[in-house]
Amino acid sequence: MPAKIIRIWLLLILSLSAPLSAHPGHDNQKDTIMAEKKWTLVIHGGAGSMERGKLSPEKDAAARAGLTRALEAGSAVLAKGGTAMDAVSAAIMVMEDDENFNAGRGAVFTYKGVNELDASIMDGKTLGAGAVTGARYTKNPILLARAVMEESPHVMLSREGADEFSREQGLEQVNPDYFATPERWRQLEELKAKKLGWYDVDLKYGTVGAVAVDSDGNVAAGTSTGGLTGKRWGRIGDSPIIGAGNYADNRACAISATGAGEFFIRLGIAHEICARMRMLGEDAKTAADHVMKELKLLGGTGGVIVTAPDGTATFSFNTPGMYRGKATSAGEKMVAVYGDE
């Protein structure tokens, strides 16, 4: 074959294979790495009496939109290879800023008509944990809980001390009016007028939480709430209590709880579920369902979200509904409200 024709053949072959050979192996390798980067994010916006027909279409749509935004914020962190801690913080901040949930803006009122905020966060890689209770000025209490974990030698700070620490840390402060909404005020008035118990007010729930596994296999959990409508005497629920409303341990799982906090504290629910998984080898669903059944026997209502380092995740609740959502690296993305979804 003449040399000129051979050259033309060679050029043709090279040009056809150009997209693959321009940076040998690079794109393929990147695709493989991205495909191997598995992550899972699960969120909740509270468990309670949400039933079809009872919840207005507006409230239903607003809750789903808020959950979707929170999932998107957390997923964006994880998809870029970010940490479970950052994803949990990002998802919770969105729900704290959304007045449809009982955390941050839109938190329920105490009996005296103020908003006292509780939050906690835990890193399953280090077992580092931070929590605050009765905070009144920090725009995003989950960031304050995280600052307690990362910037103080303590695990839990309360009330004025937590507020003081928040200011010292330079976290965004707001006038307490920022948290107050007319709907939450109406619920407080209803509780007082009807002399209802703390667990009676319809839709009082709305605590938010998130659990995640990042692409390094680390888990984290966060929870944030205003607590119960009409709470008194400095009452503290399970949400800021590590082991009750929140727990994360790379050896087992990450959990965030919502519901009648006193019962979750008595059973140490979040730690109990992790302990069953770690020591009995139960999967997330078996462990969560078992412990939630025990909660029901005591008379407690609510729910939990759980994820394990292998990416398996579950919801377990004994209320008619739970605002919830899930997103994974495999492209799964769902939000739901009612028990039958």
Q: Does 269 bind ligand ASP (CB under 6 A)?
A: no
Q: Does 220 bind ligand ASP (CB under 6 A)?
A: no
Q: Does 46 bind ligand ASP (CB under 6 A)?
A: yes
In angstroms, the CA 319 to CA 18 distance is 59
Q: Residue 148: which residues within 8 A CB-CB, separation 6 or more?
A: 130, 131, 132, 154, 155, 156, 157, 162, 165
Among 110, 225, 307, 329, binds ligand ASP (CB under 6 A): 225
Among 73, 131, 219, 228, binds ligand ASP (CB under 6 A): 228
Q: Which stretch binds ligand ASP (CB under 6 A): 123-131, 147-155, 254-262, 266-274?
A: 254-262
Among 75, 239, 246, 328, binds ligand ASP (CB under 6 A): 239
Amino acid at 29: Q
In angstroms, the CA 235 to CA 133 distance is 9
Based on CB atoms, which residue is closest to ligand ASP, 124 or 227?
227
- For residue 253, the surrounding DSSP H or E stretch is strand 253-259
| Contact criterion met (CB below 8 Å) for 157 and 166 | no
Q: Does 207 bind ligand ASP (CB under 6 A)?
A: yes
Known catalytic residue at 68: no
Q: Does 110 bind ligand ASP (CB under 6 A)?
A: no
| Contact criterion met (CB below 8 Å) for 46 and 208 | yes
CB of 176 to ligand ASP, least distance (A): 19
How many angstroms separate the Cα of 148 from the Cα of each of 41, 131, 152?
23, 7, 5
Q: Does 259 bind ligand ASP (CB under 6 A)?
A: yes
Q: Which residues bind ligand ASP (CB under 6 A)?
A: 46, 205, 207, 225, 227-228, 237-239, 245, 258-259, 261
The set of catalytic residues is 207
